[in-house]
Amino acid sequence: MSSARCTVLLTFDFDAESSKEARGLISPTPISQGQYGARVGVPRILKLLARYNIHATFFVPGVTVERYPDIIEQMLAGGHEIGHHGYTHISPLKLSYEEEREQLAKGMDALQRVAGIRPKGYRSPAWDLSNHSIELFKEFGFAYESSL
């Protein structure tokens, strides 16, 4: 039997409705898909992770934290990390420096107020960074960035 070991980092984006809303998709069909993920999909994932004693990181937009505080509580109770994922899931490429800073600040506020945490990690809602993102990450004290 081999003694080889492997490290796996398991991460999820818990967007719920926010990714659809950020693109203007607010009709019942896309919104219900986001709600289904929150009400059915994420609880199933949490149950599966618990069964196998696996810890993961969930990147969550601030607006989703505010809408689903009970799910955030379950994530934390299960020993999972929660990372910053913007506030309204808007791409930083579409934002000015001030607007991107506001998205980061509002997302951080939601995580601190609702979950009582200051996240160490960040993942861009667009998996891309603006020309000023890294400067802002330093300001907000992130230890790592998971979009690149």
Q: What is the model's pTM?
A: 0.93
pLDDT in tens, 58-77: 999 999 999 999 999 999 99
Provide the mean pLDDT of the chain: 94
Share of the chain above pLDDT 90, in %: 80
Which ranges of the chain does DSSP label H, i.e. alpha helix? 18-22, 28-36, 42-51, 62-67, 69-77, 97-110, 133-140
Q: Domain 11-145: give its CATH code.
A: 3.20.20.370
**Domain ranges in the chain?**
11-145
